Amino acid sequence: MAAERSAYAAAGVDIEAGERAVELMKASVARTRRPEVLGGLGGFAGLFDASALARYDHPVLATSTDGVGTKVAIAAAMGVYDTVGYDLVGMLVDDLVVCGAEPLFVTDYIACGKVYPERIAALVGGIAAACETAGAALLGGETAEHPGLLDPDEFDIAGATTGVVERAKLLGPELVRPGDVALALASSGLHSNGYSLVRHVLLERTGWALDRQVDELGRTLGEELLEPTRVYAKPCLAVIGATEVHAMSHITGGGLANNLARVIPAGVEVVLDRASWAPAPIFGLVQRLGGVSQPDLEATLNMGVGMVVLLPEASVEDARRVLASEGVQSWVAGEAVAAAGTGSVRLVGSHPAS
């Protein structure tokens, strides 16, 4: 057996390093444990007690899978590995909550050129911390060492999540009607979308270094680019539980209008007023230094809006109160009006100076 391990190690795969990484991550994973989780880390499959769904009249499972994208290149270049887990979990669970689903558990997949146990433990620690924020169990995962395919310092992370919602409480386009208000929830920054454009403009074209202090950002470029994605699951579920909500849209790749249009029914148009908010300076920096047009910028980046809630006007005050108590800034960004044709979104006006 020792000879086999040595041969595998000679091929570039270190089994002992993988085992060490698992030991280092156990405590952070344990903190995400929900009562429905059976067994511990290290089994072939994660086990979740589905009898918990018996409290639902008609449970509907929701699932989502995603990755972080090229933001991991920023993390690797800076040697900071405990933040991109929030980007992964945010991309996963906030795709569930838009239909009203509570995230139950998350599984992750880490591919790397070489297993450095402390690095893997930091990555998983970030994922676990974000799962705690979302109320989801980190049920299991996989770390795969791919020498020859990835350089020793390269890695990528992806994951999947499952949640549940009562069928009668599903949110979606069929509930949206003229007169609904579009409530915008502030993003924490770029989140994890559009980084191919951002890296091209701010690193390749300008030649700026990640440790460059940028006055208008108030910190280094790298610190700004690594700002973790805000995880909205718990605040949004709190809003759903406290007042009437018709639909939600998670603003990710494709920008504000394109994502919001996915939950707008035929015969309705949502008009958003840019004057209702000032995007953070990072968005203007990308536009100015890259010579990026306003339509291109808005079709790529979230422009400071991480989530949009569509709800009756009578629900706005309660929703904003709940969000404020959860530490999430929100504002009325527009409204739904009757319009011919397929569901659409139109942005009007101009952003105030940030």
Average the pLDDT over 61-86 and give the result. Answer: 96
Instruction: Mark residue 47 as left, alpha or beta (left: phi above 0; alpha: psi -120 to 50; beta: remaining).
Output: beta
pLDDT of residue 28: 82
Please name every residue paired with 210 in a beta bridge, in sequence order, or none if there are none: none
pLDDT of residue 178: 98
Contacts by 290-295, CB closer than 8 A, 24 or more apart: 290/197, 290/200, 290/201, 290/202, 290/205, 292/197, 292/201
d(Cα 341, Cα 60) in Å, to the nearest integer?
A: 31
3-state secondary structure 70-86: CHHHHHHHHCCCCCHHH
Cβ neighbours around 231 below 10 Å, total: 28
Q: How far apart are the first and last CA of the chain?
A: 63
Least confident piece of the model among 16-25, 147-156, 179-188, 256-265: 16-25
Residue 91: band (very low, low, confident or very high) from pLDDT cuts 50, 70, 90: very high
Q: What rounded mean pLDDT belongs to the chain?
A: 93
Question: Hunting for tokens 């404020």 — which residue is that?
Answer: 324
Taking only the tens place, the pLDDT of each residue in 286-333 is 999 999 999 999 999 999 999 999 999 999 999 999 999 999 999 999
Taking only the tens place, the pLDDT of each residue in 222-272 is 999 999 999 999 999 999 999 999 999 999 999 999 999 999 999 999 999
Please check the confidence at residue 2 and state whether its pLDDT lies above 60. Answer: no
d(Cα 102, Cα 166) in Å, to the nearest integer?
A: 10
The conformation of residue 280, written as its DSSP 8-state character, comes to -
Taking only the tens place, the pLDDT of each residue in 103-120 is 999 999 999 999 998 999
Q: Is the pTM of this model over 0.85?
A: yes
CA distances from 26 to 51, 266, 291 (A): 26, 49, 47
CA distances from 137 to 85, 100, 264, 339 (A): 14, 18, 32, 43
Structure tokens at 319: 């929703």
CA distances from 319 to 93, 242, 248, 299, 343 (A): 20, 7, 13, 27, 24
In a 3-state reduction of DSSP, which class is residue 311? strand
d(Cα 250, Cα 100) in Å, to the nearest integer?
A: 12
Q: What is the dihedral of CA 203, 350, 250, 236, to 10 degrees?
A: 120
338 CA to centre of own chain = 31
d(Cα 195, Cα 201) in Å, to the nearest integer?
A: 10
Residues 6 or more apart whose Cβ sits within 8 Å of residue 284:
354
The answer to whether 161 touches 250, Cβ cutoff 8 Å, is: no
Q: Quote the percentage of the chain above a pLDDT of 90.
A: 87
Structure tokens at 196: 């191919």
d(Cα 179, Cα 271) in Å, to the nearest integer?
A: 11
